[in-house]
Structure 1
Amino acid sequence: MVTHKDLDVWKMSMDLVKEIYTLTDTFPTYEQFGLTSQLRRASVSVPSNIAEGSARNGNKEFINFCYISLGSLSEIETQIIIAYELNFLEDTVTQSVLQKIELIRKKLLNFIKYLKKRGTANVK
């Protein structure tokens, strides 16, 4: 049986979570409850919503959860830019993370298109 763990977009978003946790470890300690917390929550939200959506009844609900994941990706993107502008991240690191976010966004949008084409059939 195919599950969310078999989806490339889920795997890529899990890798992004690990990278965000590593990056935010370098942020100033006074950001622990600010930008660090926001980035970590938003990053965890991406694969979590893909997983939750896959367990729902039908593609319509799955698509809605994928759109929530897209929203979280936009949050991460904005927060990474903020971290860069606050000099918490170097340019090369920032560009690398932003490229990964864009790749996940494209994969997620293509997955949503696929789910829409499948109609209301269940993904499981």
Structure 2
Amino acid sequence: MRDFQKLSIWQKSHLLTIKIYSITKTFPKEELYGLTSQARRSASSIPTNIAEGCGRNSIPDFKRFLMIAAGSASELHYQLILSRDLHYISESIFKELSEETILIKKMIFSYIGKLAEANGY
């Protein structure tokens, strides 16, 4: 069992989730059950799935949860694009959060590759 809090991908995705929660507080009230909720769920799903994968007993299970986390990062990336295009966030905030999301996704795929190499998968 791995300590997920020690993984840099978990740490970065946790901080991104906190930023998403903070930024979505400014979204219009009519988006509370729409885009606000979706962005928060996508963001929190990234570190949640990393944590759950760390608690699994096998590398294939862990890799599956990392893939789910990567999928959530892709969802979040689109929701950031939509938020920018609806003028809920500025271009500079979009760029910052988008870059963080893409970096996290790259880190996830890199970690999956390292797991595969280390375990002959």
**What TM-score, normalized by structure 2, do the two folds share?**
0.96
Find the counterpart in structure 1 of residue 50 from structure 2.
50
Q: In the TM superposition, what are the counterparts of 1:20-99 in structure 2 within 5 Å?
A: 20-99=20-99
**Cα distance in 2, alignment partners of residues 100 and 69 from structure 1:** 14
Cα displacement (A) at 1:2: 4.6
> Retained in 1: the 8 A contact 2:5–2:11?
yes
One-letter amino acid of the counterpart of residue 96, structure 2: S
| Cross-structure match for 1:104 | 104
Matches of 1:84 and 1:36 in 2, distance apart?
Answer: 13
Distance 1:2 1:39 in 2: 27
The 5-angstrom pairing of residues 14-25 of structure 1 reads: 14-25=14-25
Letter in 2 for 1:115: L
Write the distance in 2 (CA, Å) between the matches of 1:72 and 1:51. Answer: 14
The match for 2:114 is: 114
Distance in 2 between the 1:76 and 1:70 partners?
Answer: 10
User: Residue 9 in 1 paired to residue 9 in 2?
Assistant: yes
Count of residue pairs brought into register by the alignment: 121
Percent of pairs identical after alignment?
36
Root mean square deviation, CA, Å: 1.5
* C-alpha distance in 1 between matches for 2:101 and 2:41: 15
Q: Which runs of 4+ in 1 moved over 4 A?
A: none
TM-score when normalising by structure 1: 0.93
- Find the aligned partners of 1:39 and 1:2 in 2 and give their Cα distance: 27
